Structure 1
Amino acid sequence: MMQLHKFNDTTALNADFSDRLVTILQQAITQRGAAYLVVSGGKTPQALFTALSQVNLAWDKVTVLLADDRWLDDSQTDSNERLVKATLLQNKASAARFISLYANTPSAFTGAAEVLPRISALPTFDAVILGMGEDGHTASLFPCSAQITAGLAEGAPAVLAVEPTTAPYQRMSLSLPRLLDSRHIFLHLVGSNKLAVLNKAMAEQDVLAMPIRAFLQHPLAQVTVMYSDT
């Protein structure tokens, strides 16, 4: 199921989104002594990350990880880990714990066994922030990849290596069931082109063609879409 929230601009979106996330994380810390936040890379969330980094919160009780990452170490420009460390894990949020999806192996496929225990051992997430590509991929669950069926399977492992054919780099991605194991799921979108993709995703049901449908049309999951045109 999907609930769409539209904002006039990204400033309004990020202010509201930050407040929602802080409330969720604070509630988790109060109730369970720890909070788990899953984020996505790319340009869209950077301003949100910067705003979050300056919020008063018991960040030392927050664990942050990525929904996916390119198989690059964090010295590489295209690493999502590098992005998160440079934007979110700054200021007050520098006290948060970060779990990497990278291991020092030649490929994501050889590194998956090392990354898997880090993620499979985690409890239910408190919030997952997804992005969406114009092909309908989310995390690194790419419709073009040979691994898409495995990543969307009900019994999929927590993480899997992915090699998209329409995007560079091998990837490490959380699977559909691991991402769905969250108290709150958000989809963060900016731009009218993304709204058109969202509408297309809701109009049909083939999840292999547009993997974001597996979240938006899931019978039990509630996905909150945070959207602005600009």
Structure 2
Amino acid sequence: MTLNVSSSKVEVAKNFANYFVEICKSKPVVHIALSGGSTPKIVFDELAANHKTAIDWAKVHLYWGDERCVWPYDDESNYKMTYNHLISKIDIPELNIHRIKGENGPRYEAEHYSQFLNIVLPKTNGIPTFDLVILGMGDDGHTASIFPNQIELWNSENYCEVAEHPVSGQKRITITGQLINNAETVAFLVTGESKTERVYEILNNKDLATMYPASLVVPTKGNLEWFLDEAAAAKVTSAQS
């Protein structure tokens, strides 16, 4: 595990964008699972503004780690956010964009996306393998769309599951733990004071951490990167000093 601490959310986005570029340059074909959220949005802006010609987008395939069960033009759609901030601004073939279709029936789409990933992704130990999975973490310690009250979804035998937001009840499609932990690299993008306590508990293996799905991210290849701003890392860095 590697900690990458930056001074601000904007600096996190810049540093991760550089990391993203290097991963895209490292292989002839790259399969990446994207995340929603405010920090990825800034990452996408950074990539579109300053790195769009540094990457051969024809070899990059984009997927989503989770998606809300809404239409792709809905403001809550992770796909729409990515399209507005990145896809519409780069030269990437339409065939390389593999969105979760949130407008479909949730159970149908979870099964469909599972089957799709099983067909198109390369495999390690018989399990589909992303080159990079980008994750965020909520204030409650959830990641992708696996929430603490449904933490059992992490160990599902299925590659994708239907999750439900614990407050709104909104249904979502999410990839599960076996896909996340089978990735070549997993990168957390976590910023803000509201995440400080969760980051500290997870990175220091506190007893409460087992309640948080984010604590279950332990890639079998050992390539786990945390990109944090100083606010999110405050308790971790102070404990190390």
Q: Per the shorter chain, which TM-score range?
A: 0.7 to 0.9
Alignment check: 8 A CA contact 1:39 1:67 kept = yes
C-alpha deviation, 1:62, in angstroms: 0.6
1:110 and 1:130 map into 2 onto residues whose CA distance is 24
Alignment check: 8 A CA contact 1:89 1:95 kept = no
C-alpha deviation, 1:63, in angstroms: 0.5
Number of aligned residue pairs: 219
What amino acid sits opposite 2:172 in the alignment?
R
Alignment check: 8 A CA contact 2:72 2:103 kept = no
Q: Which residue does 1:152 correspond to in 2?
A: 154
C-alpha deviation, 1:64, in angstroms: 0.6
Q: Which runs of 5+ in 1 are unaligned?
A: none
Map residues 117-156 of structure 1 onto 2, 5 A cutoff: 117-121=115-119, 122-123=121-122, 124-145=129-150, 148-149=151-152, 151-153=153-155, 156=157
Q: Which has the higher helix share?
A: 2
Query: Does structure 1 residue 223 correspond to structure 2 residue 224?
Result: yes
- What's the TM-score once normalised by structure 2's chain length? 0.82
2:111 and 2:4 map into 1 onto residues whose CA distance is 38
1:126 and 1:4 map into 2 onto residues whose CA distance is 19
Q: Which residue does 2:25 correspond to in 1?
A: 26
Query: Does structure 1 residue 201 correspond to structure 2 residue 196?
Result: no
1:16 and 1:185 map into 2 onto residues whose CA distance is 15
Q: Determine what percentage of the aligned residue pairs are the same residue.
A: 21
Alignment check: 8 A CA contact 2:180 2:219 kept = no
What amino acid sits opposite 1:185 in the alignment?
V
2:62 and 2:30 map into 1 onto residues whose CA distance is 9
RMSD: 2.1
Alignment check: 8 A CA contact 1:144 1:166 kept = no
Q: Deviations over 1:191-226 (max 9, x none)?
A: 1221221112233356662010101x5675332110
Map residues 10-159 of structure 1 onto 2, 5 A cutoff: 10-29=9-28, 34-54=29-49, 55=51, 56=53, 57-95=55-93, 97-102=96-101, 104-105=103-104, 107-121=105-119, 122-123=121-122, 124-145=129-150, 148-149=151-152, 151-153=153-155, 156-159=157-160
Alignment check: 8 A CA contact 1:38 1:129 kept = yes
- What's the TM-score once normalised by structure 1's chain length? 0.86
Q: Which runs of 5+ in 2 are unaligned?
A: 123-128, 232-241
Cα gap change, 1:103/1:115 in structure 2, threshold over 3 Å: closer, same or farther? farther
